[in-house]
A and B are shown apart, each in its own frame.
Chain A
C-alpha cells in the first residue's frame, strides 16, 4: 500500500529544515500543489499539530490531515540525519517523517487504512536504525514495502 502511494519525488532523504513549521512546508512542497491549495493544507496540518504532536516518539512523526482542496491521498516520506525538534511525545528529535494528506471523503477509506499501516511500519522502524543508511529513494521505498509486508 505504501509503495503504491510513493515515488522517488516524494521521498526526501536529506531534509534541509531545522524546525517544525519548515519541515511541514518542505514535505508539503513535494506534492507540488498550487500556492492557494498548499496554504490551506498547511493550515490544516498546523491545526492538527496544535492538539497534540504527531511526533510519536523514537525519532518518528506522522503529520496528517484531510483537506477539501485535495483530489487524492498523498504520502511523502522525509528523513533528517540531524533530527528536527517536532515537539515529539518523548521530547527527542525526529529523524523520519511520514506526511499523509487526503480529501475529506476518499474511496475505500484509503486514508485511515494508510495511517494505520504507517503506524504499524513506524513501530517496526522504532526498533531499527538501518534506514538511516539508505541513500537511494527507490531503495528506501522497497525497504518500507518490505517492512509493511512483514508480520
Chain B
C-alpha cells in the first residue's frame, strides 16, 4: 500500500473516532472517555507528519465539504458520492499502491 494512502486511512480512522467519541449515542453506551480526546489529537499530529502538505490541505478541504477526505471503493463504486468509477481505474492491479482520487467528487479513494 502507498505510504501516504496508509497515513490518510489512519488519519481518517482517527478523525472518525474523535467525532464518534463526542456523540451522545456513543457516550450513552457507557465508555468513559471524558477529557481524553487530546491524546487522540496528539496521535493525529504524529500521523500528519507523514502526509505531504498539499495532500493534507486537500484532505482537510474535502473533509470540510463532505465530512470525509477519503472514501472506500466497494464494487467499483465510490462510497462518498456513489458514482461508478471508470473500469480502467478499478481494473488496475496496483490501485492501492498509488494515491488516487474519485474523478467525480475528488475524495481520495481506497479499494477495500
Contacts and interface: CB of A to CB of B under 8 A. Distances in A.
Interface of A: 36, 40, 43-44, 47-48, 50-52, 54, 56, 65-71, 89, 103-105, 112, 115-116, 119
5 contacts: A36-B1, A40-B6, A56-B31, A65-B17, A66-B16
10 nearest CB pairs, A to B: A51-B36, A44-B13, A104-B16, A71-B112, A68-B9, A36-B1, A51-B39, A67-B13, A119-B29, A52-B33
Interface stretch (B54-62, B67-75, B85-93): B67-75
Contact of A66 (B20, B74, B112): B20
A90 B94 CA distance: 47
Interface in B1-47: 1, 6, 9-10, 12-14, 16-17, 20-21, 25-26, 28-33, 36-37, 39-40, 43
Given A44-B17, A47-B40, A119-B29, A36 B6 contact: yes
Contact of B10 (A40, A51, A103, A112): A40
B79 interface: yes
B26 A119 contact: no
B20 to A, nearest CB: 7
